[in-house]
Amino acid sequence: MQRIKTFLIAVALSAAAPAYAAGGHALTYKFTPDSNNVQSAQRGARNFMNYCSGCHSMKHLRYGRLANDLNIPEDLLKANLMFTSEKPGDHIISSMPAMEAAKWFGQPPPDLTVETRMRGADWVYNFLMTFYVDGAKPSGVNNLTLPGASMPHVLMDLQGVQVKVEEKAEGHGEAGHGGGHAGPKFELVQPGKLSPDEYKKFVADTVNFMHYAAEPGRNARISLGYKVMLFLFLFTILAYLMKKEWWKDVH
Ligand code: HEC
């Protein structure tokens, strides 16, 4: 009995763990990825290739698969998403040699194929939203979601420059209701090329694409699941009717 109890407690704890695993504080922004929004994932693929793939690979995903799943015609794929030397069967490899990157940034930029499954899509969304100016860092920026991150704010010209506004300790005022969570703690001191709403959309598209990449078969799996359920349901009716038919003379 004691063992079962311990086991159940362990299961409950491990289910709760991811919420605290990354950084320990609540995330500033809420975000739920949308796997059915193919257009958003297409835009996200373009964002990723333009702004991230210089440093980060997605080595478990092939260009051809991506184009196929996201309905991107091959000529557009080649013109917009791939370097000229690559073929659709190639995996998405970063153009930066990992050893050099480690020297430049202190850490090699990690492969991002399954990043949203490891950290959660909402975590990645928050990571891209919460870079702020920090003069103490060599790159000039820090990140609220991953404090001390060695990634530079590569989207700064899009988002603009934001500073972190310290929260009031007692949590009075509108932001502090309930005590725990105070809304966004950032102030834009220099606007970027995108408005705050456009930037949010840019980040959402990028994360939707990463969410797709982390499990390219997700939509197929879900739609197959529905078909199987429908089949089982219809088969149950059929089986019931057959049973009635077969047994009707026995009684
Ligand atoms: C100039 C190189 C560079 C570019 C461009 C870049 N990154 Fe990074 N990124 C890094 C480095 C270096 C790290 C490691 C940071 C650390 O752990 O301190 C990192 C870390 C990350 C992480 C956190 C990984 C983890 O779980 O710890 C995410 C998520 C991420 N990058 C997403 C992106 C996205 C999305 C883009 C494109 C918008 C992008 N990066 C563009 C260099 C880059």
Paired with 152 in beta bridges are: none
Q: Is 52 in the pocket of ligand 1 (CB under 6 A)?
A: yes
| Cα 109 to ligand 1 centroid, rounded to whole Å | 6
Nearest-atom index, ligand 1, CA of 48 = 37
From CA 210, how far away is CA 224, in angstroms rounded? 22
pLDDT at position 181: 53
| Cα 191 to ligand 1 centroid, rounded to whole Å | 22
Sorted by where each starts, the structural domains of the chain and their CATH numbers stand as: 30-243 (1.10.760.10)
pLDDT tens sequence across 13-62: 666 555 444 445 689 999 999 989 999 999 999 999 999 998 999 999 99
Q: Is 43 in the pocket of ligand 1 (CB under 6 A)?
A: no
Q: Is 154 in the pocket of ligand 1 (CB under 6 A)?
A: yes
The answer to whether 140 and 134 are in contact (CB under 8 A) is yes
Q: DSSP secondary-structure letter at 170?
A: T
Q: What is the mean pLDDT of the chain?
A: 86
Residue 5 banded pLDDT, cuts 50, 70, 90: confident
pLDDT at position 182: 55
pLDDT tens sequence across 70-116: 999 999 998 888 887 889 999 998 877 766 777 777 788 999 999 99
From CA 211, how far away is CA 246, in angstroms rounded? 50
Whole-prediction pTM: 0.82
- The backbone region for 50, taken as left when phi is positive above 0, alpha when psi lies in -120 to 50, beta otherwise, is alpha
Q: Is 206 in the pocket of ligand 1 (CB under 6 A)?
A: yes
Q: Is 55 in the pocket of ligand 1 (CB under 6 A)?
A: yes
pLDDT at position 84: 74
The answer to whether 107 and 146 are in contact (CB under 8 A) is no
